[in-house]
Structure 1
Amino acid sequence: MAQSERVSGLARVLTALLAATLITGTIYMVKPAKADIHSLSGTLFFHRYSDYASWDATMWSLDLQSGSFNQINKNWTTVVSPINAHVSNDGQYLTLMGSAAGLPALNVEAQYDWDVFISHWDGTSWTDPTNLTGPNNQRDEDPKFSPDGKTIAYKEDGVLATVSSTGGAKTYLSVGEAESSMPYYRSNGTDLLFERQGKIMLKTSTGDKVMDPGVGGESSYYPIGVDNERFLFTRVQDSKHDGIRWGYYDGRPSTDLFFNNDTWDSSDSYPYQDAKDFIFLVSGDVNIPKGGYNLVIADLRAEKVVNVDDLYGDINSHQQELGPAWTPFTY
């Protein structure tokens, strides 16, 4: 079972006195008093599946303060195999990709179609997701909110696109260009990080810019914006194992993170707060006796990686845990 109490009563009182709390229905946000891996706050979302093509994904939330752990898609009826969640900055909406439920079978074989969905927190649960892009027989993948939450960037069959968070017409950003994927807004709300042909790119009003990949390696993917200066991304190293790097918008050379190695993969990074203390990631660490990929937390100051199970009980499973995304809100 997940731990429900990890901080003493006195520490809770001190934290409450130092915290600024925003009340929004039953959503609340607390700013932690200090950087302590045993006193994290907010909510971590992620998905798990046996493999990408099995269409058996489930989506989960972990309250980092109480340890409450829930399958959020348990009662959903509109979507199959939800993955790659991203939370709006106000904490009210969740976008994800999955297939519309109940698509007609073809030759008695179930059919699936990746689309982009949105769900709303109604005060007690995440509502049945609404399909924003299909079904349309296209691969609509990798959705991410803009900073103001009004727009969702994604890719449709290798073309970058945007759609309003309320639905409607789509805008295509890279028609006629090489396949592009994994868009993520810079914090300025206009520039867009993305992957193209193994390179991390930045789409700006003046054109597309190649971001520095660092020394060595084969290809890069999965850019995640952190602030207006930095972003995280995954790089396939010369060893063929994935590692995570810091990228910089000003053109400085990208830098390695301490936990990268030539024995297992590290990928799917996501910042906790401003990523000065911690980041979430997925690790193939052979020393974790669970499935191939598991959730871990990197303590950047102490330079150590902690299995999330060591803090919260049995969170990882013998399936693949992937796509962590954090929000400061608790539900």
Structure 2
Amino acid sequence: MRTKKTCLLLAFLLLFVNIFSFKNVITTEAATTKPKLTGKIVFHNYSDYYKGDSKMYIYDFAKNKLSCISKNWTNVINPMNAMFRKDGKAIVFMGETKDGEWDIFEYKFNGKNPTNLTKGNGLDDEDPKYSPNGKSIVYKRSNSSGKGTSIIEYNTVSKKRTVLIKGNTEKSMPYYSGDGKKLFYIEGSESNMYVRVADISNRKNIKTKKLYKKSGCHSYYPIADKSGRYVYFSRAYSKDNDSDQIVRYDLKNNKAKMMPFNKKDSDFSDTCIVSSKYLIVSSTVGGHGAYDLYLVDTSGKVRINLDKYNKKINTKMNELGCDYYPD
């Protein structure tokens, strides 16, 4: 009888553990209660980066409305990596002209073509981001020598361009700090890509330094939060596993943390900060296509496919480069 009772007790305990574990998986992997969001996102999708078929979309959470804003544009193809201006009345993004040149464009939601801000310079201009006050745009520009790139700042009021960081190496993906006094960017290419920071508080004496580098692991796409505490970026899981993972770098204690929602057999990239708690990321963790958009929380307890908000957001294409504007 003791043996039978013991077996029954063990069976009950195993059942309890399995049920508890199953609940945790559901909470983490497929949360059914989605947080209420009232803002907008802008993002792009394409079948392949080199196919030149990227399109740009706006999704309004409050109205549950998805719109392809690029469908009638005639002066730009392959638009991608957009960012909302501070007031939400414009976006800046990179795109190709019919001549195959990458340029920086600004669109003001007026139903007209976006404005080409770098037209006719014969150079590739990419990776634009607004300053916190919306009066400047920073981006990378190819050097006329054909070697490396420079970081350029464009003043939207005076139309003046200033070279902030130059050299013969690859510099890309600049992003302003919340107070506009620093600039985070990527140095190098492929597995040698790492994060640097520039002090731009004095434009006449800009100083740069290495912020984060993991040997043999590429790091890219830095995004700074408004508080000035954290910088998010993507990094290879390890030297032997180049799956992209989201890292949060704490500027207060200079420590980097792999975010708990990552999975080492999937890619996570293109961090979009929604709030201090929530992010939107692009991931191959599962869904319609190679990359889909997911809402995640920084504790790792929630990961929700944006299909939960609108079934047409994620498709068989790659959904990437999301930015959020809090209406």
TM range (shorter): 0.7 to 0.9
1:200 aligns with 2:168: no
Tell me the SS of whatever aligns to 1:234: strand
Cα distance change of structure 1 residues 248 and 51 upon mapping to structure 2, 3 Å threshold = same
- CA–CA separation in structure 2 for the residues paired with 1:251 and 1:200: 16
- CA–CA separation in structure 2 for the residues paired with 1:204 and 1:272: 26
Partner of 2:85: 88
Q: Which amino acid aligns with 1:168?
A: K
Q: Which amino acid aligns with 1:141?
A: E
Partner of 1:121: 109
Cα distance change of structure 1 residues 94 and 226 upon mapping to structure 2, 3 Å threshold = same
- CA–CA separation in structure 2 for the residues paired with 1:137 and 1:53: 20
Tell me the SS of whatever aligns to 2:212: coil
Contact 2:42 2:57 in 1 (8 A): yes
- CA–CA separation in structure 1 for the residues paired with 2:253 and 2:199: 14
Tell me the SS of whatever aligns to 1:173: strand
Aligned residues, how many? 277
Of stretches 159-168 and 232-241 in structure 1, the one that deviates more from structure 2 is 159-168
Q: Which amino acid aligns with 1:38?
A: P
- CA–CA separation in structure 2 for the residues paired with 1:187 and 1:144: 12
Cα distance change of structure 1 residues 283 and 167 upon mapping to structure 2, 3 Å threshold = farther
1:171 aligns with 2:162: yes
How far residue 304 of structure 1 moved from its aligned partner, in angstroms, is 2.2
**Segments ≥4 residues shifted beyond 6 Å:** none
Partner of 1:55: 52
Contact 2:140 2:172 in 1 (8 A): yes
How far residue 74 of structure 1 moved from its aligned partner, in angstroms, is 1.7
| 1:237-266 C-alpha deviation (Å, 9 max, x unpaired) | 212100001112335211110121221100
> TM-score, normalized by length of structure 1?
0.79
In percent, how many aligned pairs have the same letter?
31
| Bigger Rg over Cα | 2
1:240 to 237, 242, 253: 242
Q: Which runs of 5+ in 2 are unaligned?
A: 1-32, 143-148, 201-205
Partner of 1:226: 225
Partner of 1:7: none
Partner of 2:20: none
1:254 to 234, 253, 256: 256
Partner of 1:153: 138
Partner of 1:107: none
Contact 1:42 1:327 in 2 (8 A): yes
- CA–CA separation in structure 1 for the residues paired with 2:46 and 2:272: 19
How far residue 169 of structure 1 moved from its aligned partner, in angstroms, is 3.5
- CA–CA separation in structure 2 for the residues paired with 1:212 and 1:141: 23
Q: Which runs of 5+ in 1 are unaligned?
A: 1-35, 104-110
Tell me the SS of whatever aligns to 1:53: helix
Cα distance change of structure 1 residues 97 and 168 upon mapping to structure 2, 3 Å threshold = same
* Bigger helix fraction: 2
How far residue 68 of structure 1 moved from its aligned partner, in angstroms, is 0.4
2:289 to 264, 283, 291: 291
Cα distance change of structure 1 residues 255 and 55 upon mapping to structure 2, 3 Å threshold = same
Q: CA RMSD in A?
A: 1.8
- CA–CA separation in structure 2 for the residues paired with 1:179 and 1:167: 28
Contact 1:211 1:249 in 2 (8 A): no
> TM-score, normalized by length of structure 2?
0.80
Partner of 1:263: 265
Tell me the SS of whatever aligns to 1:223: strand
- CA–CA separation in structure 1 for the residues paired with 2:47 and 2:158: 31
Partner of 1:23: none
How far residue 300 of structure 1 moved from its aligned partner, in angstroms, is 2.9
- CA–CA separation in structure 1 for the residues paired with 2:50 and 2:114: 21
Partner of 2:282: 282
